[in-house]
């Protein structure tokens, strides 16, 4: 019995288990490009009418402004998380810091707090500092909430880099910063890329923080824009339009996953050294 034939029952079982999800996504795509009468199982005609919101703001509002806000929000979060995580993870992995174990435990404790439990405190701080209802405020909050996991992940990748590489650079007269930038950082490039993709997806998919901490329409991100279309009790509710906007919202996520899927699969392969 060949290995492929032995795996055949498992493949069939997994296909059956995932079939409802696959069918759901197929219908999601089909519905955005077709018209289906109520109660019918299959579409009767294909159309691009549900995607007119991309060029006609009178249908659902200008979708490009929330898209730009989401892009800025997710990109800024990614830059902050990558910058601080790459340096903080190195410090926790390589430097003989006091209370190092306390910091490592604190990172996990901080990451364990759901954002919703911190909303009142975050609101008071942003309101006091004048950052409430600004894009800068929610960027800082989202980056701060993502940082504990980011620092922990980067520390794991630094743990896997042999000390000999770093010591060779120091013995050649290079500064510690030069060794980190030119020798160590290239070694953890897979983790750097994976964390960047992860942080971007976290920012792109965020709904709660922008909805609560930046309610102004000027800073509305795409997730909040999509939520404004989900009003099934209204007489003019267009479910196909809602699906089309939702699919448009998902496209960058799918694209990033296709590009970085191998990197994302390795994101939790960091070391566990204390």
**Among 212, 229, 252, which Cα is nearest to 71's?**
252
**Among 202, 91, 108, which Cα is nearest to 148's?**
108
pLDDT tens figures, 93-146: 888 878 878 877 777 777 777 777 888 889 999 999 999 989 999 999 999 999
Neighbours of 93 (CB within 10 A): 22
Give the pTM.
Answer: 0.83
Rounded to an integer, the average pLDDT of 76-95 is: 91
Rounded to an integer, the average pLDDT of 150-159 is: 88
Residue with tokens 């490039």: 189
pLDDT tens figures, 176-216: 888 888 888 888 888 888 888 889 989 999 998 998 998 88
pLDDT tens figures, 207-252: 989 989 988 877 889 988 888 887 666 666 778 888 889 999 998 8
pLDDT at 270: 52
Domains assigned to the chain: 72-230+252-265 (1.10.3720.10)
| CA angle (150 as vertex; 145, 153 as ends), nearest 5 | 145
Distance set, CA 225 to CA 8, 53, 180, 230, 248 (Å) = 44, 12, 42, 9, 12
């Amino acid at each position: 019995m060949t290995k492929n034939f032995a795996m055949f029952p498992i493949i069939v079982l997994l296909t059956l288990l995932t079939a409802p999800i696959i069918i759901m996504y197929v219908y999601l795509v089909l519905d955005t490009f077709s018209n289906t009468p109520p109660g019918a199982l299959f579409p009767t005609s294909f159309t691009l009418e549900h995607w007119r919101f991309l060029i006609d703001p009178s249908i659902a509002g200008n979708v490009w402004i929330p898209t730009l806000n989401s892009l800025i929000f997710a990109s800024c979060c990614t830059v902050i998380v990558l910058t601080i995580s790459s340096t903080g993870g190195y410090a926790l992995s390589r430097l003989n810091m006091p209370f190092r174990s306390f910091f490592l435990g604190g990172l996990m404790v901080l990451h364990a707090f759901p954002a919703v439990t911190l909303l009142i405190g975050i609101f008071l701080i942003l309101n006091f500092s004048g950052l409430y209802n600004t894009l800068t405020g929610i960027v800082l909050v989202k980056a701060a909430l993502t940082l504990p996991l980011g620092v922990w992940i980067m520390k794991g990748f630094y743990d896997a880099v042999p000390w000999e590489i770093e010591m060779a650079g120091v013995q050649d007269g290079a500064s510690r910063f030069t060794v980190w930038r030119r020798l160590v950082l290239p070694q953890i490039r897979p983790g750097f890329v994976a964390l960047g993709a992860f942080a971007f997806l976290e920012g792109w998919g965020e709904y709660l923080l922008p909805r609560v901490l930046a309610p102004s329409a000027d800073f509305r991100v795409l997730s909040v824009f999509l939520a404004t279309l989900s009003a099934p009790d209204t007489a003019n509710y267009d479910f196909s339009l809602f699906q089309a906007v939702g699919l448009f919202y998902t496209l960058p996520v799918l694209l990033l996953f296709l590009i970085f899927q191998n990197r994302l699969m390795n994101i939790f392969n960091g070391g566990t050294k204390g």
